Copies of this chain bind each other. A is one copy, B any other.
Amino acid sequence: MSGWSYAKAGVDLNLHRELHRIALDSVARVNSVVSGKLGMRCGGIGSYSGWVTVNGLDISLHVDGVGTKSLIASALGKYKVIGWDAVVINVNDVVCSGVQPIALVDYIAMNYPNDVAFKEILEGIEEAAITNELLMLGGETAILADVIKGIDVVCVVLGVKKYYNGFKALRGDVVVGLYSNGIHANGYSLVRKVIESTVGYEAVINGVKISDELLKPVTNYAPLILESLSKNLISSAAHISGGAFKKVRRILDDGLNIVIETPKPPKVFELLMDLGNISTYEMYNVFNMGIGMVVTLPNDNLCEFKSAAKRYGIETAELGYVVEGEGKVILNTYYGDVIEF
């Protein structure tokens, strides 16, 4: 059997990257005109969160949605998790840019006014907003019969840039992985194709109850990362979301490599790999493989960081080092392959 890939499941990351390039060109054109005209400063575009300076305050804005995980939520009739996730994927991103998240708006598009789903989604948003101390400034609910087949849940987080350290790995740093709570909210187009074409959502395999695994909430790393930035414990953080381990490149300057050894991934990833006959490269290119956030820090701070993580209930693993190199992320995978991003 020829294996499943993200492209075969409908998401071609190369085409996606091409769209991203088009968008960044557009952003650059607009900002050169507008910032010239108004004398306004902005930055961080293309990193985890862009910002604009208003009255000396760097205000950041970030948008992300839960994607096709919502289809699993619909199939299983459990919606709260996608509300939670929609908030948490945003705050996990912005803290990697040193941004203190402050408020949010949500955008929920549905094919009909499904009040049961809507209430559960909002419960999840509420819980994540309160956990992260975010105000809610409003939102939009769009009923888009014929555009949407299920539900699309998107959040936008407003924040203020608070930390100006913490964005690039430094030579000699230790690389620490923060464990994920399963698949989180990326790669679901591939997950669905694999599960639907094989065992189905109701299956229990090697002790893994598929339906439970696929709806686990995204781990909220934001409070730990913010605390670590405030105490100057870490030099950088990379949220492993869409694009998976390629995201680690964001924290890497030219002249350095990050060399990591990835731990044994949780059962659900091995199951997907086997069921879908997915290549090792594709797995680490699409999924977090058990590591939802990567941070770099001086060895001297390791103990304090690990005990902070423990306090937040987040398990850690030392993955490797930042060394001299050519700007590469080198993964020594659990399966013996070496992958360079």
A208 within 8 A of B: no
Tell me which residues across on chain B come within 8 A of A54, comparing CB atoms: 57, 59, 102, 160
- Distance in angstroms between the alpha carbons of A37 and B130 in the assembled complex: 10
- Distance in angstroms between the alpha carbons of A123 and B129 in the assembled complex: 34
Of B9, B55, B135, the residue contacting A34 (CB under 8 A) is: B135
Stretch in contact with the other chain, from A151-159, A227-235, A262-270, A323-331: A151-159
A34 touches B141 (CB 8 A): no
A52 touches B137 (CB 8 A): yes
B143 touches A46 (CB 8 A): no
A40 touches B143 (CB 8 A): no
Q: How large is the interface on A (under 10, 10 to 19, 20 to 34, 35 or more residues)?
A: 35 or more
B136 touches A26 (CB 8 A): yes
Tell me which residues across on chain B come within 8 A of A135, comparing CB atoms: 30-31, 34-35, 40, 42, 52
A141 touches B16 (CB 8 A): yes
| A18-32 near B? 1/0 per residue, CB < 8 Å | 111011001101110
B138 touches A107 (CB 8 A): no
Of B51, B61, B147, the residue contacting A148 (CB under 8 A) is: B147
B152 touches A27 (CB 8 A): no
Of B31, B55, B126, B189, the residue contacting A30 (CB under 8 A) is: B126
A92 within 8 A of B: no
Of B62, B65, B126, the residue contacting A29 (CB under 8 A) is: B126
Which residue of chain B is the closest to A11 with respect to CB atoms?
Answer: B143
A148 touches B139 (CB 8 A): no
A146 within 8 A of B: yes
A310 within 8 A of B: no
Of B26, B56, B107, B192, the residue contacting A154 (CB under 8 A) is: B107
A50 within 8 A of B: yes
Which residue of chain B is the closest to A33 with respect to CB atoms?
Answer: B130
- Distance in angstroms between the alpha carbons of A65 and B46 in the assembled complex: 23
Query: What are 18 pairs between A and B in contact, CB < 8 Å?
Result: A22-B115, A26-B136, A31-B135, A34-B134, A34-B135, A50-B136, A50-B137, A50-B138, A52-B135, A54-B102, A55-B55, A62-B138, A67-B144, A68-B144, A68-B145, A107-B156, A147-B152, A152-B152
**Interface residues of A, Cβ cutoff 8 Å to B:** 9-12, 15-16, 18-20, 22-23, 26-27, 29-31, 33-35, 37-38, 40, 42, 44-46, 49-52, 54-57, 59-65, 67-68, 70-71, 102-107, 109, 112-113, 115, 118-119, 122-123, 125-126, 129-130, 133-152, 154, 156, 158, 160, 189, 192
Q: Apart from A50-B105, A148-B148, list 20 A-B contacts with CB within 8 A.
A: A9-B145, A19-B118, A19-B141, A23-B118, A27-B137, A42-B137, A44-B137, A49-B138, A61-B104, A61-B138, A61-B158, A62-B138, A63-B105, A65-B107, A67-B142, A67-B144, A68-B147, A70-B147, A143-B189, A144-B189
